[in-house]
Amino acid sequence: MKFHGFIATAMTAALGLGFTAATAAQDLVLGYIAAKTGPFVSLSKTNEIAAQIAVDEINAKGGVNGKKLRIETFDSSGKPEQAVVGVRTLEKDEKVLAIIGPFSSSEARVAFPIAERLKIVTMPMASSAPGLAEPFKFAFRNTSNEGYMFAQVMKTLKQKGIPVRSASIAHATDDTISKVMGTRVFPAIFEKVGIPVEDVVTFKLSAFDLSPQVSQLASSPTDLVAVGAPPEQAIKLVTEMRRQGHQGRLVAGSTIAAPDLPERMGEPGNTTTLPTTFFADLDDRTRAFAAEFARRAKAEGERTLPAQFDAATYDIVLFFAHAMEQAGVTGDPDKLEAERTAIRDRLAVMKDFPALEGSISFGPDGDALKPVYVIEIDNGKWRLLGTQQVQG
C-alpha cells in the first residue's frame, strides 16, 4: 500500500510539474536585466516592482494575444561585463522575446552590440549618454538624450527669469554618463545658450571628501553649478557647497532624479533643478501608479516614492506588450527569431503611445521622444517648475 501510495504521489507530482511546465511554455516571456547593486542602486533596485505592476495589469485584462506575460530576471549588479552575460543568458537559455534593461549607459554601451548580433531588442530605462542606440537596429531606449533634457532645464530657467549668467561644472570621471555630462553635455548646452563656464572640477565616485573641489568653486562662485554624478555624490557636493558659503543653484541631468532626493539633501538642496520624464502628481493615472508602487515597495522594505526610471520600466513593458499584440506574437519556439524581429519592427514605427509618462514615440536614433518635466527642490519636496512638450 505504501509503495502504491508512493507511485500515486509521484505520478501526481509529475503531472503537476508537467502542467506547470506546460502552462509556463504558453507564457510570453520578457527578460529583465536588473541592477540590484552598483553606483545607481538607489534608482535601479525598485524598477522590477514597476515592471511587475505592468505585467499584472496586462495579465488581469487577458494578457497579450490570449497569453500571459512573464518576466525572467538576470542581476548584472550594475556591471557592464555582467550585462553582456545577462543578454546572452536571457536570449539563449531563457529564450525571451525582448529584454528590459540594462540600466546604465556603461552597461548599454557593451550590451547593445551583443544584442544586435543575437537579433533581440534591448531597452534600457535609464541609459541616456547621447547616441548609444543610434548605430543599432535592435537597440531602443525609453530615455531621452541628456543633451535634450538639460536644454529643457535651461529653457525653463530662462523662461522663469532665474539668474543664469555664469556656470561651473563638477563631474565624476569614472562613470560613463557622469563623464559625458561633464565633458560633453553641460559644455555644449552652456555654449549654445551663451553662458560662460568659469570652472570645472572632477572627482571619483568613491571620493569621501569633496571639500577641495568645492573650495575651488567657492573661490569664484557662479549662478549655476552643473553636476554630473549619481545622487549620493550630488548630495555630498551641495552639502559642502552650502557649508563653504557657495549659494549657486545646483543643476543636473536626470542622473540624480531620485524621488527622495529633496529629503536626503535637506535644506542645502533647495533650488536644485533637473529634468525628469515622470512627475507622480501630474494626473489621476500617475497618482494611481504611485499609490500601487508605494504599496508594493513598502511590503518589500524599499523606497516608496516612484522614480522616473520606475515609470520608464513600467512603460517598457507596455511598449513590448503593444508591439507583441500588433505583431501577433505567439511565443512559438519555432518562430522565436521572426517574432523578435517583428517586435523590433513594431517599436520602430510606434507613434504617440499613451504611456504613463505621457505621449511617447521613438525617434530615428532609437531614443524615446516624450515630455520633460523640469522640477526643483523646495523645502524638502519636488516642485514642478515647468513642462516642455515633445520636440523632434
For every residue of 321-342, which 3-state class applies, written as one string? Answer: HHHHHHHCCCCCHHHHHHHHHH
Give the pLDDT of residue 19: 40
Torsion on CA atoms 221, 155, 254, 177, rounded to nearest 10 = -70
Other CB atoms closer than 10 Å to residue 383's CB: what's the count? Answer: 12
* DSSP designation for 46: T
Please give the grid coordinates belonging to residue 264: 536626503
Give me the half-sphere count of Cα atoms (radius 13 Å) on the Cβ side of residue 347.
30
Express each pLDDT in 183-199 by its tens digit: 999 999 999 999 999 99
Express each pLDDT in 32-60 by its tens digit: 999 999 888 888 999 999 999 999 999 99
Which residues lie closer than 8 Å to 351 by C-beta, 6 or more apart?
361
Beta bridge partners of 67: 64
Beta strand extents in the chain (DSSP E only): 28-34, 69-75, 99-100, 122-123, 167-172, 197-203, 224-228, 249-252, 273-276, 353-355, 358-362, 368-369, 372-378, 381-388
Calculate the alpha carbon distances from 167 to 175, 191, 196, 378 in Å.
Answer: 22, 11, 6, 21
Please give the grid coordinates belonging to residue 186: 553641460
* Calpha distance 4→72 (Å, rounded): 38
Beta bridge partners of 72: 31
Name the residue ranges covered by the structural domains of the chain.
Answer: 25-144+282-356, 147-276+374-388
Q: 207-212: long-range contacts (C-beta < 8 A, 24 or more apart)? A: 207/233, 207/236, 210/170, 210/236, 210/237, 210/240, 211/240, 211/244
* Calpha distance 324→317 (Å, rounded): 11
Q: In 3-state terms, the chain is what percent helix, strand and coil (to 5)? A: 45, 20, 35
Mind listing the pLDDT tens digit of every residue in the chain (392 residues)?
333 443 344 444 444 544 444 445 589 999 999 999 988 888 899 999 999 999 999 999 999 999 999 999 999 999 999 999 999 999 999 999 999 999 999 999 999 999 999 999 999 999 988 899 999 999 999 998 889 999 999 999 999 999 999 999 999 999 888 999 999 999 999 999 999 999 999 999 999 999 999 999 999 999 999 999 999 999 999 999 999 999 999 999 988 988 899 999 999 999 999 999 999 999 999 999 999 999 999 999 999 999 999 999 999 999 999 999 999 999 999 999 999 999 999 999 999 999 999 999 999 999 999 999 999 999 999 999 999 987 65
Fold: same for 25-144+282-356 and 147-276+374-388 = yes
Please give the CATH superfamily to which domain 147-276+374-388 belongs.
Answer: Response regulator (3.40.50.2300)
pTM greater than 0.85: no
Give the pLDDT of residue 390: 79
Beta bridge partners of 101: 123
Which burial class, exposed, middle or buried, applies to 165 when counting CB atoms under 10 A from its CB (0-12, 13-18, 19+)? exposed
Tell me the residue type at 329: V
∠ CA 166-170-172, rounded to 5°: 160
Q: Are 259 and 382 in contact (CB under 8 A)?
A: yes
Tally: H helices and E strands in the chain: 14, 14
Please give the CATH superfamily to which domain 25-144+282-356 belongs.
Answer: Response regulator (3.40.50.2300)
Give the pLDDT of residue 293: 98
Torsion on CA atoms 23, 24, 30, 33, rounded to nearest 10 = 150
Other CB atoms closer than 10 Å to residue 367's CB: what's the count? Answer: 24
Strands lying side by side in the sheet with 353-355: 353-355, 358-362, 368-369
